[in-house]
A and B are shown apart, each in its own frame.
Chain A
Amino acid sequence: MAAITSSVPIAEAPASRRKFPFLLIALLLPMAIINFVAFVLPVIRLGMISFIESRSGGVLTNNYTLENYADFFTDSFSIELVSNSLLLGFGVTLITLCCAYPIALFLHRVSPKWRNMLFVITVSPLLVSSVVRTYGWMVILGDQGVFNGILMSSGIIDSPLRLTNNTLGVFIGMVEVLIPYMALSLIAGFGRLENVYEEAAASLGANSWTRFRRVILPLTAPGIALGCLLCFVLSISSFITPKLLGGGRVFLLATEIYDQAVIQLEWPTAAAISVIVLIIFGLALAVYSRVVKRFD
């Protein structure tokens, strides 16, 4: 079949098609300009600020220095920030994947009659701002919240469980916020999964676990990789949920950038941490590319 296809002579492109690059450039140019002005230039400016020397109290000088980066990498608190952020990123991504995968698989297999409605229900949390949803979790998980209220009124516990204002609260909030993103990414990456492959595996004697491990999982791997990349990046850069549910106890890279810029007034430190976060995102993107290439 491939030989037949390749033997078909390729007709010369018409004159209008030869002008294609100009059309392409004309179409891409507005977005490229917006991207350059709204993203590339600010990132360059951010990089420049990260090298500005600041005096005690956050006063900016006209000198440039590497100290902001040196201070970051030699400070144990900064290392704790990086490890906290990476642990949160990996942990939240893993839990979100475990929660969203069965939902996405179900949506992929369900009858088309129900699929659209169930799909809308799955992504409907995105219609509500994550700030509102996080405040909702504060009401549910707080000391005087619904969850503790039920447990205490039923006599299971005497004093409220500490479910917010700590890392646990941040995990719960983040997972809920990110499940729709993970589900969307998984569904988008499930294109290669067809029932016939599973039926073929079953006919060859594969049990359900083997079918999942040897057929479903490899075929859905691109979706998993995409979902994990998206959730990891979103959780590392998330700021509102840790701020609202962390009770000031959860120190992460994203919250540190805000605190350094707005509370401590140390803009160069905040810019240096932002650049480091960008590098982490770049590394995550490189890993994603390798994973996708491997499964293609």
Chain B
Amino acid sequence: MKRISTHVLSATLFAATMLSGAYANAADITVMGYRGPFEDNYKKAVIEPFMKAHPDIKVTYYGVQNAATSLGNMRAQRDAPQVNAVIYDLSVAKIAKEEGLVADLDTSKLPNYADVSDIGKDLGGAAIPLTYDTLTLIYNSKAFPTAPASWETLWDKAQAGKVVLPAQGGGDIQAILLTIISNRLAGEQDYKNTIDPGVDKLVELAPRVQTWEPKPDAYTLVANGTATVSIGWNARSQFYFDQTEGRMGSVGPSEGTASQINVVSAIEKASESEATQTFINYAIGPEAQAAFAKAMFYAPVNTKTQVDEATAKRIPMMDPAQREKLIPVDWMTIGDMRDDILQPWRRKIIPAGR
């Protein structure tokens, strides 16, 4: 009896030691990022498999409306961060880096970083590319039995009053990219020289625009027939294509398109830096990249990612022809040009449609 008691006591002590060890190593981290379908799919495709592979790290996803909201939270929590990592776009990451809100990670400690494509690596360890996306033309399948092939469809007089353009509050990065694309359609190849031809072309389009602030979003209005054509992000377009059973389609136009880059940053002064780095390394790894590409049609940033053919076909960045036509956008200089590009939207383009 005494022997059994000793065994039980030993086993209890061993279990207690192991458990306390496990708790000592356990880490809770919070990742802030886009909410909605992005959040739902990111949890399923990346976070849950990560936690299975790393049972000692618990990841909580905190969904926010957009990258600007993330920046606002980071500013408000500058001295006592409540999140460990943030997923947002590169242009906002540049601001966060300049304000000292994000940590500059040593990329040599992230084994998967070496396999990440060069696009969007401008900020080094402060903002690591996570996903690529492209601007696409979205259309109502009933109104366009044959998919439109050109950005010029937006200027088609037959679509007057049925065009919606998301330019909330005078525009965000979609408006910036559309300005650059319009500039090229108007003959000016380099937006750094001038954007005037593009602005004039958009002024011509303005009276045919139904709304500059589609609610709930452009995808829904195009899918339900309130509008026939608009612009959107490829990933969300593909997601809505499935959700609406094909009532809304999307296409990468023949003139080429421009990319948008989502990045992930570790928050400066946040705790659990090792667990955060482990998560970031996993997030840019081929397994997580493939799973999220399949779930949401974002182009993977990791060059070793294997994506099935059906998924790859729906991601313009994975089509060599589209990738070759990719319109170069330097998001580092866009930050400085942001005001110059967006001011005409508020003062010339949108007022021309009143």
Contacts of A144 in B (CB 8 A): 225-226
Chain B residues contacting A244 (CB-CB under 8 Å) are 215
| B172-A249 in contact (CB<8A) | no
* Contact across chains for B226 and A265 when beta carbons are under 8 A apart: no
User: Given contacts A142-B226, A247-B213, is CB(A263)–CB(B338) below 8 Å?
Assistant: no
Contacts A56-B339, A165-B210 given; indicate if A262 touches B169 (C-beta within 8 A).
Answer: yes
Of residues 193 to 242 in A, which have CB atoms within 8 Å of B's CB atoms? none
CA distance A247 to B226 in the complex (A): 13
Interface membership of A264, Cβ < 8 A: yes
Tell me the smallest distance from the CB of B211 to a CB of chain A, in Å: 4
Interface presence of B2 (CB below 8 A): no
Q: Which residues of A contact B66 (CB under 8 A)?
A: 262
Q: How far is the CA of A249 from the CA of B354 in the complex (A)?
A: 7
Question: Are the CB atoms of A247 and B68 closer together than 8 Å?
Answer: no
Measured CB to CB, the closest approach of chain B to A62, in angstroms, equals: 10
Is the Cβ of A265 less than 8 Å from the Cβ of B213?
no
Instruction: Evaluate whether A59 and B172 lie within 8 angstroms (CB atoms) in the complex, with A249-B350, A251-B346 already known.
Output: no
| Chain A residues with CB under 8 A of B65 | 262
Does B95 touch A at the CB level, under 8 Å?
yes
Q: Considering residues B66, B172, B226, B346, which has the most beta carbons from chain A within 10 angstroms of its beta carbon?
A: B346
Residue pair B99, A246 in contact (C-beta under 8 Å): no
Q: Considering the complex, which residues of chain B in the window 190-227 have a beta carbon less than 8 Å from any beta carbon of chain A?
A: 210-213, 215, 225-226
- Taking a contact as CB atoms closer than 8 A, the residue among B94, B168, B215 that contacts A263 in the complex is B168
Q: Which residues of B contact A96 (CB under 8 A)?
A: none
- Given A143-B161, A247-B210, A249-B354: A263 touches B335 (CB 8 Å cut-off): no
The interface stretch among B69-77, B122-130, B282-290, B315-323 is B69-77
Chain B residues closer than 8 Å to A95, beta-carbon distance: none
Among residues of B, the one whose C-beta sits closest to the C-beta of A248 is B212
**With an 8 A cutoff between CB atoms, is A261 at the interface?**
yes
Query: Which chain A residue lies CB-closest to B334?
Result: A57
CB contacts (< 8 Å) of B68 on chain A: these are 261-263, 265
**A264 shortest CB reach to chain B, Å:** 7
- Distance, CA A258 to CA B168, complexed state (A): 10
What is the distance, in angstroms, from A189's C-beta to the closest C-beta of chain B?
Answer: 37
* Residue contact B210 to A143, C-beta cutoff 8 Å: yes
In the complex, which residues of chain A have a beta carbon less than 8 angstroms from the beta carbon of B336? 56-57
Interface membership of B83, Cβ < 8 A: no
B212 touches A247 (CB 8 A): yes
A59 touches B354 (CB 8 A): no
**A243 on interface, CB distance cutoff 8 Å:** yes
Contact B169 A258 (CB under 8 A): yes
CA distance A247 to B171 in the complex (A): 13
A233-279: which have CB < 8 Å to B?
243-244, 246-249, 251, 255-256, 258-265, 267
Q: Are B172 and A248 touching (Cβ within 8 A)?
A: no
Q: Tell me, in angstroms, the Cα distance from A138 to B98 when the chains sit together.
A: 42
Contacting pair A264 B213 (CB below 8 A): no
Give Cα A57 to B205, complex, Å: 27
Kindly identify, within residues 298 to 354 of chain B, every residue whose CB is under 8 Å from any CB belonging to chain A: 335-336, 338-339, 342, 346-347, 350-351, 353-354
Given contacts A258-B169, A262-B68, A263-B170, contact A249 B161 (CB under 8 A): no
- Report how far A76 CA is from B277 CA in the complex, Å: 48
A248-B226 contact, Cβ under 8 Å, with A57-B94, A259-B169: no
Which residue of the partner chain B has the closest CB to A145? B226
A residues within 8 A CB of B351? Answer: 249
Contact of A243 among B210, B213, B338 (CB under 8 A): B213
With both beta carbons as reference points, the residue of chain B lying nearest to A262 in the complex is identified as B68
Q: How far is the CB of B255 from chain A (nearest CB, A)?
A: 25
- Interface residue? B92 (CB, 8 A): yes
B72-104 CB contacts (< 8 Å) to partner A: 72, 75, 91-92, 94-95, 98-99
> Chain A contacts of B57 at CB under 8 A?
none
In the complex, what distance in Å separates the CA atom of A243 from the CA atom of B215? 9
On whether the beta carbons of A248 and B213 are closer than 8 Å, the reply is yes
Is A138 touching B335 in the complex (CB atoms < 8 A)?
no
Tell which of A57, A243, A249, A259 touches B353, judged by Cβ atoms closer than 8 Å: A249
Within 8 A of A (CB), among B159-187: 161, 167-172
A263 touches B346 (CB 8 A): no
Q: Does A91 contact B (CB under 8 A)?
A: no
Give the docked Cα–Cα distance between A57 and B169 (Å): 15
Chain A: which residue is nearest B175 at the CB level? A263
CA distance A77 to B342 in the complex (A): 13
Residues of B within 8 A of A256 (CB): 169
CB pair B354–A57 under 8 Å, yes or no, is no
Q: A262 — which chain B residues lie within 8 A by C-beta?
A: 65-66, 68-69, 72, 169
- CB distance A264 to B69 under 8 Å? no
Distance A209 CA – B172 CA, assembled complex (angstroms) = 55
- Tell me whether A248 and B167 are in contact (CB under 8 A): yes
In the assembled complex, 13 residue pairs joining A and B whose CB atoms fall closer than 8 Å, in A order, are A56-B335, A57-B95, A60-B75, A138-B215, A247-B213, A249-B350, A249-B353, A255-B169, A262-B69, A263-B169, A263-B170, A263-B172, A265-B92
Q: Assuming A56-B338, A57-B339, A259-B169, what are 15 further A-B pairs, CB within 8 angstroms? A: A57-B91, A144-B226, A246-B213, A247-B210, A248-B169, A248-B212, A249-B350, A249-B351, A261-B68, A262-B65, A262-B66, A262-B169, A263-B169, A263-B170, A265-B71
Q: Top 8 nearest A-B pairs by Cβ distance?
A: A259-B169, A248-B212, A248-B213, A247-B211, A57-B335, A263-B169, A165-B211, A59-B98
